[in-house]
């Protein structure tokens, strides 16, 4: 078996072909090869959620997916959310829903997934949805506040 | 203290306002600049071979296979690096009698904890470095390990450092009054308990990380460092790698969480810097999560036997305890691992007015990872012991836990005073804070509801804590002991030609919002819109010398330096403006980017003034030498620390079948002096409380008897996640400290320091009617069921 494989991925709208080590995970490929350092690595075993990003419309753990598995996929990282996340970004600023900012790209991904799926402004449900994303700084409450605000703002 | 007190009333003042953080937008766009984001030309990567055993003698190291592996650039053993690195010893001269052994970046002849680095591999990628590390065979003769801190002091325990003779690092006793006589009185109720506090660790989401470059042409070492104290690290790299201090630059840009984990000297980072120097090319080391668990400092790990004597009127007659803490095989350099025990001696019972106190701490070496300062150093232990004993005493004498506090807390008008533990206290508000808490939480209604639900078989508990918090340390904390840790900080502010301010400060930003509050202070004191303030922190080449951010000192010390610098710059500007406008400087002010008359009438824009000074000096009188830049440094001088106080309460519900505890509510009332930005302060308090909930219920570094760390993954070491955490209600009392014009104390420690005590008291309040008690953290379901006697 070859140590590398050729893949083609579309990341934030831009298609790239690359030879990747078959053992390399997706988030390392995005960070180290493409220079998209917004997605972060926290635990490398799928617990902390810092590397959460969008692959073909689903939020996945970038550390639990190999780069070769993303061959042909459409990937969106925090750098590529654009207007989709504008309300969420504004609410995060307003509520100080981030401190060090390291969990934030993954937290935004999970929050965006919840909001776009039509999630309700139900604090317990939001907390449950975000419970795969670890934040050591905020205590989560401000993040829940931000997500509630976005949902209530949209429904108004 | 005299000063421009009117700054808080000015139209431009941002102090006290919940303004947004300007740097949040950058982080939300994925444009943070963390250390692992840095890629440099010719950069190589480090990985470490670490000891698989807790104690052993290194017999031989076989590097032959690794040397031939693809991508390998260099291999270093402890002996290799010992030729290039001066050993370090974690002692402070003012902690009399504290002992430790010289430490090296990599183990040389012996390994003393599981995870201790033994060999460093440098390769063209981290993956290749790990491949090569896997091919290295270290032959270790395993030795008996001293892991249990209580047994480590027994005469037959394995001695970790033969030269020291035994495993006792430090022993200190504080005594006041006559505690023996007080405990012996026949009119007191004595409560005696043993408390156990598990080891836990920081679990910063960004692990420790450094990229070190070395330029041999100028003998310059530059370290991009995920840390809290850049100037301290500058000194340490210089001293231990044999470089002139001015040739070392430490840059701490975005830091992904720190909490005290990132203020210490780790062999991994020193080895990375040594390798960069030896190779003359950039070397990156980013700890993986396993390495973080095994080698990031741990905290707590205390066993405390405590006693309190309380009169029938609920007055504390005496408090006494013995604390034993395990610190791993070395005292951490340069802050030492004795500070946590020392804090416990200083803080336990310090909010209360009583006379008779005795506290002993024994700090013990053991074959586990090093233990050292982490957020709220010593506070969770001090608060849980004092308030745990006090609440139990209240129940035994039939008094409400609020009432017993009211009878013992130091009066709000009693300051300045000295606590029984010997701490100088001033500007505290225990009673006002407690009253605010009681009102905020609706205490009486909660108690009534609790009693009602208890009759229905619902087991709720309410617990409180009254605490003090160490913030704004003076040079009496570390400087007196000979450590290269500044307690002063500096701020330089300049006006640029466009009328904007540039603030450069030695305190650092790790997400608390330091840069924001410095901008608030500078903008308000000087008189410009906050959007016109740019803040630089975290770079030893461009910021004034200072201590960085730890012990909740950023706002109180860095903020005061910024206030003074902004005021000095304003005086400079008004002196120039007075000449240009033919006015007396005292008749002028600066508001909204203009020099104005004191009534606010605009006279000249700051950019016009600055352009005149910078570009058209010919228009100024030749005897005027304007400077539009000012630097001020500030340190606390009158007190060793500026204490804050807080009162907190937790309401929990206990499932007696499963042992699970749900935290229903948490209330925190803190007096952190002047609140500069309530949104940021509330964030600090909430984040701190949740870290305290982690320590109380979830987090524990579990070691086997022979020193294996058994839950060193995030799947096994439980951290607080969103689902289990409650909403946290916050209220503020503001008693500005008289030690500064700004009046700000710190706000970072209280939640982590106080929450565990309130939670343990709440759980015990729920358990008490069932005839059970728990005094061990984390309070896991299993331990609660054991307390209930059901397992």
Q: Please compute the mean of the pLDDT values over residues B447-459 and round it to a whole number.
A: 97
pLDDT (tens digit, 9 = 90+) per residue, B259-287?
Answer: 999 999 999 999 999 999 999 999 999 99
Q: Which of A44, A108, A130 has the CB atom closest to B28's CB atom? A: A108
Number of Cβ pairs < 8 A linking chain A and chain B = 176
**Residue A33 touches partner B, C-beta closer than 8 Å:** no
Residues of chain B found within 8 Å of residue A128, distances taken between Cβ atoms: 722-723
B10: Cα separation from own chain's centroid: 33
Q: Which of A98, A131, A136 has the CB atom closest to B723's CB atom? A: A131
Q: Which of A44, A79, A136 has the CB atom closest to B203's CB atom? A: A136
Question: Which pLDDT score is estimated for B6?
Answer: 64
pLDDT at A156 over 50: no
Q: Please compute the mean of the pLDDT values over residues B491-504 and round it to a whole number.
A: 98
Instruction: Characterise B123 by phi-psi region: left (phi > 0), alpha (psi -120 to 50), beta (else).
Output: beta
The DSSP H or E segment spanning B577 is helix B559-581
Residues of chain A found within 8 Å of residue B289, distances taken between Cβ atoms: 42-45
CA atoms of B210 and B214, how far apart (whole Å)? 13
Are residues A134 and B255, on separate chains, in Cβ contact within 8 Å? no
pLDDT (tens digit, 9 = 90+) per residue, A43-82?
Answer: 999 999 999 999 999 999 999 999 999 999 999 999 999 9
CA atoms of B738 and B750, how far apart (whole Å)? 20
The SS3 of residue B448 is helix
pLDDT (tens digit, 9 = 90+) per residue, B362-392?
Answer: 999 999 999 999 999 999 999 999 999 999 9
Share of residues in chain B with pLDDT > 70 (%)? 99
| Mutation target among A24, A29, A41, A96 for the B interface, most CBs of B within 10 A | A96
**Distance (Å) from the alpha carbon of B634 to chain A's nearest alpha carbon:** 26
The encoded tokens of residue A85 equal 């996340």
| B52 CB-side CA count, 13 A | 8
Task: State chain B's mean pLDDT as an integer.
Answer: 96
Residues of chain A found within 8 Å of residue B686, distances taken between Cβ atoms: 138-139, 141-142
Chain B: residue nearest A83 by CA?
B29
pLDDT at B2 over 50: no
Q: Please compute the mean of the pLDDT values over residues B724-749 and round it to a whole number.
A: 96
Model confidence at A155, pLDDT cuts 50, 70, 90, reads very low
Beta B728-732 vs B661-671: how paired, if at all? parallel
Q: Please compute the mean of the pLDDT values over residues A89-114 and round it to a whole number.
A: 98
- Going by C-alpha positions, the residue among B558, B568, B553 that lies closest to residue B536 is B558
Residues of chain A found within 8 Å of residue B30, distances taken between Cβ atoms: 36-39, 77-79, 105
pLDDT (tens digit, 9 = 90+) per residue, B174-232?
Answer: 999 999 999 999 999 999 999 999 999 999 999 999 999 999 999 999 999 999 999 99
Are residues A100 and B719, on separate chains, in Cβ contact within 8 Å? no
pLDDT (tens digit, 9 = 90+) per residue, B235-262?
Answer: 999 999 999 999 999 999 999 999 999 9
Backbone angles phi, psi at B67, to 5 degrees: -60, -30
Residue B322 and residue B363 in contact, taking contact as beta carbons nearer than 8 Å: no
Question: Which pLDDT score is estimated for B482?
Answer: 85
The encoded tokens of residue A131 equal 């419970």
**Residue A52 touches partner B, C-beta closer than 8 Å:** no
CA distances from B32 to A37, A132, B227 (A): 8, 22, 15
pTM: predicted TM-score of the whole model, two decimal places: 0.97
CA atoms of B715 and A61, how far apart (whole Å)? 15
pLDDT at A154 over 90: no
Q: Please compute the mean of the pLDDT values over residues B749-764 and round it to a whole number.
A: 97
**Residue B204 touches partner A, C-beta closer than 8 Å:** yes
pLDDT at B474 over 50: yes
Global ipTM: 0.97
- Going by C-alpha positions, the residue among B15, B82, B85, B76 that lies closest to residue B44 is B76
Question: Which pLDDT score is estimated for B273?
Answer: 98
Residues of chain A found within 8 Å of residue B204, distances taken between Cβ atoms: 136
**Residue B741 touches partner A, C-beta closer than 8 Å:** no
Question: Which pLDDT score is estimated for B512?
Answer: 94
pLDDT (tens digit, 9 = 90+) per residue, B597-612?
Answer: 999 999 999 999 999 9
Are residues B205 and A78, on separate chains, in Cβ contact within 8 Å? no
pLDDT at B739 over 60: yes
Question: Which pLDDT score is estimated for B513?
Answer: 95
Residues of chain B found within 8 Å of residue A31, distances taken between Cβ atoms: 36-37
Chain B: residue nearest A53 by CA?
B30
The SS3 of residue B440 is helix
**Distance (Å) from the alpha carbon of A154 to chain B's nearest alpha carbon:** 20
């Amino acid at each position: 078996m070859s140590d590398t494989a050729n893949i083609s991925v579309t990341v934030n709208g831009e298609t790239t072909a690359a030879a990747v080590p078959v053992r390399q995970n997706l988030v390392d490929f995005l960070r180290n090869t493409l220079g998209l350092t917004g997605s972060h690595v926290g635990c490398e075993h799928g617990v902390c959620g810092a590397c959460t990003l969008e692959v073909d419309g689903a939020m996945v753990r970038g550390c639990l997916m190999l780069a070769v598995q993303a061959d042909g996929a459409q990937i969106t990282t925090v750098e590529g959310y654009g207007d989709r996340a504008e309300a969420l970004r504004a609410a995060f600023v307003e509520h100080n829903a981030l401190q060090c900012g390291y969990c934030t790209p993954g937290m935004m991904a999970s929050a965006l997934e919840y909001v776009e799926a039509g999630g309700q402004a139900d604090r317990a449900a939001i907390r449950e949805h975000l419970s795969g994303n670890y934040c050591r700084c905020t205590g989560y409450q401000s993040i829940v506040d931000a997500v509630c605000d976005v949902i209530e703002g949209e429904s108004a | 203290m005299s000063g421009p007190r009117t700054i808080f009333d000015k139209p431009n003042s941002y102090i006290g306002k919940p303004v947004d953080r300007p740097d949040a937008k950058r982080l939300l766009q994925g444009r943070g600049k963390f250390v692992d984001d840095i890629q440099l030309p010719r950069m190589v990567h480090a990985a470490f071979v670490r000891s698989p055993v807790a104690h052993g003698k290194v017999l031989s190291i076989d590097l032959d296979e690794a040397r031939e592996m693809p991508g390998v650039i260099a291999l270093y053993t402890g002996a290799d690096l010992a030729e290039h690195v001066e050993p370090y010893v974690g002692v402070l001269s003012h902690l009399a009698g504290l002992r430790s052994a010289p430490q090296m970046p990599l183990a040389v002849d012996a390994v003393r904890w599981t995870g201790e680095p033994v060999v460093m591999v440098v390769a063209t990628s981290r993956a290749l470095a790990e491949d090569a590390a896997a091919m290295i065979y270290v032959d270790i003769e395993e030795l008996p390990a001293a892991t249990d801190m209580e047994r480590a002091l027994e005469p037959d325990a394995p001695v970790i450092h033969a030269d020291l003779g035994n495993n006792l690092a430090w022993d200190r006793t504080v005594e006041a009054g006559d505690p023996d006589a007080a405990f012996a009185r026949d009119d007191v109720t004595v409560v005696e308990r043993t408390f156990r506090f598990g080891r836990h660790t920081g679990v910063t989401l960004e692990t420790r990380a450094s990229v070190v470059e070395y330029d041999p042409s100028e003998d310059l070492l530059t370290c991009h460092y995920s840390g809290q104290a850049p100037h301290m690290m500058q000194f340490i790299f210089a001293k231990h790698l044999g470089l002139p201090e001015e040739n070392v630059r430490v840059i701490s840009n975005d830091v992904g969480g720190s909490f005290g984990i990132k203020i210490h000297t780790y062999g991994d980072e020193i080895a990375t810097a040594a390798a960069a120097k030896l190779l003359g090319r950039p070397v990156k080391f980013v700890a993986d999560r396993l390495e973080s668990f095994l080698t990031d400092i741990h905290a707590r790990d205390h066993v405390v036997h405590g006693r309190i004597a309380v009169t029938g009127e609920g007055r504390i007659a005496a408090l006494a305890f013995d604390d034993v803490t395990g610190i791993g095989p070395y005292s951490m350099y340069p802050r030492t691992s004795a500070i946590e025990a020392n804090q416990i001696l200083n803080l336990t019972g310090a909010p209360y007015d009583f006379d008779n106190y005795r506290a002993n701490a024994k700090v013990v070496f053991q074959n586990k990872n090093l233990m050292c300062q982490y957020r709220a150093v010593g506070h969770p232990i001090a608060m849980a012991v004092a308030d745990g004993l006090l609440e139990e005493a209240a129940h035994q004498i039939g008094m409400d836990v609020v009432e017993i506090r009211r009878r013992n807390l130091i009066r709000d008008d009693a300051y300045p005073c000295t606590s029984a533990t010997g701490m100088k206290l001033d500007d505290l508000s225990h009673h006002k804070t407690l009253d605010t808490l009681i009102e905020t939480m609706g205490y009486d209604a909660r108690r009534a509801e609790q009693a009602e639900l208890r009759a229905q078989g619902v087991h709720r508990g309410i617990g409180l804590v009254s605490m003090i918090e160490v913030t704004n340390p003076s040079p009496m904390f570390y400087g007196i002991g000979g450590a290269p840790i500044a307690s002063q900080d500096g701020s330089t502010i300049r006006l640029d030609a466009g009328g904007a301010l540039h603030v450069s400060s030695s305190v650092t930003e790790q997400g608390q919002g330091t840069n924001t509050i410095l901008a608030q202070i500078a903008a308000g004191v000087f008189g410009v819109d906050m959007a016109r303030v740019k803040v630089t922190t975290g770079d030893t080449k461009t910021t004034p010398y200072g201590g960085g951010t730890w012990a909740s000192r950023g706002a109180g010390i860095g903020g005061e330096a910024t206030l003074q610098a902004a005021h000095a710059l304003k005086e400079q500007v008004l002196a120039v403006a007075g000449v240009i406008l033919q006015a007396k400087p005292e008749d002028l002010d600066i508001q909204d980017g203009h020099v104005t008359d004191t009534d606010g009438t605009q006279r000249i824009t700051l950019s016009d003034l600055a352009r005149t000074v910078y570009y058209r000096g010919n228009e100024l009188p030749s005897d005027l030498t304007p400077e539009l830049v000012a630097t001020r440094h500030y340190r606390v001088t009158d007190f060793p620390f500026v204490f804050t106080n807080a009162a907190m309460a937790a309401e929990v519900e206990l499932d007696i079948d499963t042992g699970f505890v749900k935290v229903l509510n948490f209330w925190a009332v803190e007096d952190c002096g002047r609140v500069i930005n309530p949104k940021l302060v509330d964030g600090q308090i909430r984040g701190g409380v949740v870290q305290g909930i982690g320590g109380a219920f979830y987090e524990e570094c579990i070691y086997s008897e022979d020193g294996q760390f058994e839950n060193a993954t995030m799947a096994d070491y439980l951290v607080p996640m969103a689902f289990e955490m409650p909403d946290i209600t916050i209220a503020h009392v503001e008693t500005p400290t008289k030690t500064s014009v700004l009046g700000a104390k710190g706000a970072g420690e209280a939640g982590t320091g106080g929450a565990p005590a309130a939670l343990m008291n709440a759980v015990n309040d729920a358990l008490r009617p069932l005839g059970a008690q728990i005094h061990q953290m984390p309070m896991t379901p299993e331990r609660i069921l054991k307390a209930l006697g059901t397992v």
